[in-house]
Structures are given as structure tokens and as C-alpha cells.
Amino acid sequence: MAKKQQNAPEATPADSGNGIGDKITQLRDYFEEAKGELRKVTWPTRKETTATGIAVLVLVFVMSLFLGVVDLGLTKLVEYILS
């Protein structure tokens, strides 16, 4: 999707774009736009955050058990082959 292009004001000869005032203005504009974007964010509720956090912890536990069992099995297999 194409971004909207804003019409930039015409640069005057005094506006070279290198001044400290211009950099401060750019920084202020950046933070204002960032604040506007943060207002658009749909933040999850406490219930959604808790549910997804628990789901992640359960998945991590299950995967660690699986990988531990596979590691143990492969270790025993290698020991059997080498002995």
C-alpha cells in the first residue's frame, strides 16, 4: 500500500536543512507522529495477556520435555553404537 505523501513547504534560502533548529523540529515531529501511532494500537486486555502468557509457558514446558527426551534417547543410541 502506498504511503501518503505530504506536501512539504517550499524551502527558503535560509532553510538549508542543516541547522540545529531544523533537527529539533524534525525530532519533535517524529515524537508527535510516534505518539499518534501509539494511540492507534489496540492493546490486549489483562485477560488476553494472561491467557497468551500461560499458553507460551505451557508450550515451552512441553517442548523442553520433548527435546530432553529426544536428547536422552539420542545419547543412549550413540553410547550403544560406540560401545
- pLDDT digit string, tens, across residues 3-19: 566 665 555 555 555 78
Please tell me the predicted confidence (pLDDT) of residue 33: 95
pLDDT tens column, 18-64: 788 899 999 999 999 999 999 999 999 999 999 999 999 999 999 99
Q: How confident is the model at residue 30, as a pLDDT?
A: 96
pLDDT on residue 57: 98
CA angle (35 as vertex; 30, 41 as ends), nearest 5: 130
Q: Where are the domains of the chain?
A: 44-83
User: Cβ neighbours of residue 17 under 8 Å, at least 6 residues apart?
Assistant: 11
Q: What is the pLDDT of residue 7?
A: 62
